[in-house]
Amino acid sequence: MNVHPVEEVRRIPVTSPATGKIIAEIEETPVHEVPFFYEQGRKAFASWSTMPIPNRIGFLRKLKQMIVNEMEEIARVISDDTGKVLTESIVADIMPTLDAIDHIIRHAEKVLGRQKVRTPLLLFGKKSFIEYMPRGVVLVISPWNYPLQLAMVPMISALAGGNSVILKPSEVTPLVGKYIEDLFKRSGFPEGTIQVAHGGKEVGAAFTAGKPDYIFFTGSVRTGKIIQQQAAKDLIPTTLELGGKDPMIVFGDANLDRAAKAAAWGAFTNSGQVCMSAERLYVERTVYPEFLEKLQGEVHSLRQGDDIDADVGSMTFPAQKNVVREQLDEALQRGAKLVTGLKPEDWKEGMYLPPTVVTDVEQDMKIIQDETFGPLLPVVPFDTEEEAIAYANGTAYGLNASVWTRDREKARRVSSRLVSGAVVINDVIITVANHGLPFGGAKESGIGRYHSEAGLRIFCHEKAIMEDKGFLNSEIQWYPYKGKYPLFLNLFKSYFSEKRDWVTFARNYISLLRNNK
Ligand code: NAD
């Protein structure tokens, strides 16, 4: 689009977090174009929403094949933009995107098709259905940590339902945003069906105020609250996928070798910049020293860098380094001890932070209460099941959690008591990889769910339909009421009694029908 004078275009420099070099420039979308985006989106919606679902799915198939063909190139762009290692770009960003498209291709028609619902006997002669009607223009605002899947999955879910989409990707990873825009263009989606607006929070705020029909936001709690306030002014429905402070509870009878490897991966994958990374580790005191030793060994064996075999990449967003520094400084000043990693004053220049395990922390420290979103893992011993549950539930967040024990009954009992959108038993993070499961948070971790059937239906109005053949001239509950009260009284008493009295029911029903004019 080129409707604005050239001098108004601001350019966003793209810095590679791994090397610190500027690798590209992206044009920011001027905010005065917001109405134009919505106009285009509404125009496209008119025809896209009436296209049969299998035809829309055809576009998704093409998109999927393109991602498969260009997998290596996309992985490179993601790694350049974020500093994550290549393996994580394909395993945790590209694969979940492809799997989500697959899931939607397989299930959209059934999930979004007309659903028949049982009609109660008292409404004899009618049929009931639910229809899923697309909402209109959906605004997707996405973050930088998994810049492909966290933009694409809500986008394709909304598109499958017949909506047009405006994406505002994170300004921190604009190369991926640009690549997504290009992928959709080359997949042949009709013009205006999907549009991408580039820029930072001002651009995001302008699009939020532009009255979309739905907002799907993934990002921080702070921004989520701002967006929800704005959306409330126009009663715009939202889904908010926000931060986490996920606990990992390791009981003494767990497979400790597996749990130690999982803790290292769960805390430090993507340099800890995962909404569902293990951010607090609670270990039963009986195995605490043994477990710490195993964990220390695992963390020491990690290789950091940007080569193809590296385990841990760099941080993505410079400001995030300060959050990690602040939390670690406070903990160390109050007596915490380093098991691995370095004090912030000993960190090297650049965006690589050492995977850091910390002990001797208190529950009221920032390191325990606030999201870190970095490679920092505090470890706390516990004595009883009750204490572990209380610790785990003791923050404002509730996105994911994990419970480690060989006792399946205990695992399920504890899982059921965690206030959390998801729980994993003897593994970490992985619920997100099953697209058949709902995804979302409790407490400040968010509002609403996506993935699963819910993830397709949230982008549609659920429309209730009842159908009558229209043969009778009147209904028993319509006017006139004369003489109907005792008949209704007997009808309902006979119908709703624990032991139904069918004879009385039939007699009164027939009398009411006869009373109909
Ligand atoms: P952020 O809230 O700073 O930004 C997210 C997006 O919102 C960006 O595109 C940004 O430009 C935009 N934005 C910022 N201010 C805005 C405003 N006032 N109005 C409209 N848009 C605005 O978050 P981030 O730093 O990009 O991402 C990290 C956060 O995201 C972490 O808290 C993490 O836990 C969370 N997250 C959650 C999930 C989840 O599914 N629950 C997944 C990944 C990340």
Token pair listed for 452: 């699963």
**How far is residue 314 from each of residues 16, 169, 205, measured CA to CA in Å?**
10, 20, 29
Q: Are 464 and 165 in contact (CB under 8 A)?
A: no
Give pLDDT, residue 2: 45
pLDDT-derived band of residue 429, with 50, 70 and 90 as boundaries? very high
Instruction: For ligand 1, pick from 152, 157, 170 the residue to mutate: most ligand atoms within 8 Å of CB.
Output: 170
Report phi then psi at 243, rounded to 5: -75, 175
Region 221-247: what's the mean pLDDT? 98
Give pLDDT, residue 10: 87
**b/e burial code for range 409-438 (CB count within 10 A of at least 16 → b):** eebeebbebbebbbbbebebbebbeebeeb
The alpha carbon of 204 and the centre of ligand 1 are apart by a number of angstroms equal to 10
Give pLDDT, residue 245: 98
Region 413-434: what's the mean pLDDT? 97
Among residues 340, 337, 405, 330, the alpha carbon closest in space to that of 368 is found at 330
For the chain, the average pLDDT equals 96
The alpha carbon of 320 and the centre of ligand 1 are apart by a number of angstroms equal to 12
Give the number of the atom of ligand 1 that is nearest the alpha carbon of residue 199. 11
Give the number of the atom of ligand 1 that is nearest the alpha carbon of residue 146. 43
Token pair listed for 5: 């004078």
The residues carrying an active-site annotation are 241, 275
Residue 1 pLDDT greater than 60, yes or no: no
Ligand 1 atom 43, closest CA = 275
Neighbours of 65 (CB within 10 A): 13
Helix 174-186 to helix 71-82 angle (10° resolution) is 160
Residue 241 pLDDT greater than 90, yes or no: yes
The alpha carbon of 142 and the centre of ligand 1 are apart by a number of angstroms equal to 6
**How far is residue 249 from each of residues 278, 282, 300, 484, measured CA to CA in Å?**
10, 5, 22, 63
Give pLDDT, residue 516: 79
Ligand 1 atom 30, closest CA = 219
Give pLDDT, residue 292: 98
Q: Are 3 and 33 in contact (CB under 8 A)?
A: yes
CATH of 11-20+39-114+132-242+452-462, one of 3.40.50.10860, 3.90.1150.10, 3.30.70.3270, 3.40.605.10: 3.40.605.10
Give pLDDT, residue 485: 97
Among residues 123, 63, 117, the alpha carbon closest in space to that of 94 is found at 63
Q: Over the stretch 36-46, which tens digit does the pLDDT of each residue have?
A: 999 999 999 99
Give the number of the atom of ligand 1 that is nearest the alpha carbon of residue 172. 26
Ligand 1 atom 39, closest CA = 241
Give the number of the atom of ligand 1 that is nearest the alpha carbon of residue 224. 2
Give pLDDT, residue 12: 85
Q: In whole angstroms, give the CA distance from residue 159 to residue 165.
A: 7
The alpha carbon of 6 and the centre of ligand 1 are apart by a number of angstroms equal to 29
The alpha carbon of 246 and the centre of ligand 1 are apart by a number of angstroms equal to 18
Domain boundaries, the chain: 11-20+39-114+132-242+452-462, 246-434, 478-515
Neighbours of 229 (CB within 10 A): 10
Q: Over the stretch 336-361, which tens digit does the pLDDT of each residue have?
A: 999 999 999 999 999 999 999 999 99
Residue 389 pLDDT greater than 50, yes or no: yes
Asked which of 20-24, 42-46, 279-283 is least confident by mean pLDDT, the reply is: 20-24
Give the number of the atom of ligand 1 that is nearest the alpha carbon of residue 230. 19
Q: In whole angstroms, give the CA distance from residue 69 to residue 478.
A: 63
Secondary structure in 3-state letters for 123-153:
HCCEEEEEEEEECCEEEEECCCCCCCHHHHH
Residue 6 pLDDT greater than 70, yes or no: no
Identify the three-state secondary structure at position 402.
strand
Residue 410 pLDDT greater than 60, yes or no: yes
Give the number of the atom of ligand 1 that is nearest the alpha carbon of residue 221. 32
CATH of 246-434, one of 3.40.309.10, 2.130.10.30, 3.40.190.10, 3.10.150.10: 3.40.309.10
Q: Over the stretch 62-75, which tens digit does the pLDDT of each residue have?
A: 999 999 999 999 99
Region 436-443: what's the mean pLDDT? 97
Ligand 1 atom 14, closest CA = 201
Q: Over the stretch 88-140, which tens digit does the pLDDT of each residue have?
A: 999 999 999 999 999 999 999 999 999 999 999 999 999 999 999 999 999 99
| 252 CB-side CA count, 13 A | 11
Burial class (CB in 10 A: 0-12, 13-18, 19+), 312: buried
Q: Over the stretch 176-196, which tens digit does the pLDDT of each residue have?
A: 999 999 999 999 999 999 999
The alpha carbon of 91 and the centre of ligand 1 are apart by a number of angstroms equal to 22
Ligand 1 atom 37, closest CA = 242
Ligand 1, CB within 6 Å, residue ranges:
141-145, 150, 168, 170-171, 200-201, 204-205, 208, 218-220, 223, 226-227, 241-244, 275, 371, 373, 399, 441, 446
Region 502-510: what's the mean pLDDT? 96
Give pLDDT, residue 8: 67
The alpha carbon of 144 and the centre of ligand 1 are apart by a number of angstroms equal to 8
pLDDT-derived band of residue 420, with 50, 70 and 90 as boundaries? very high
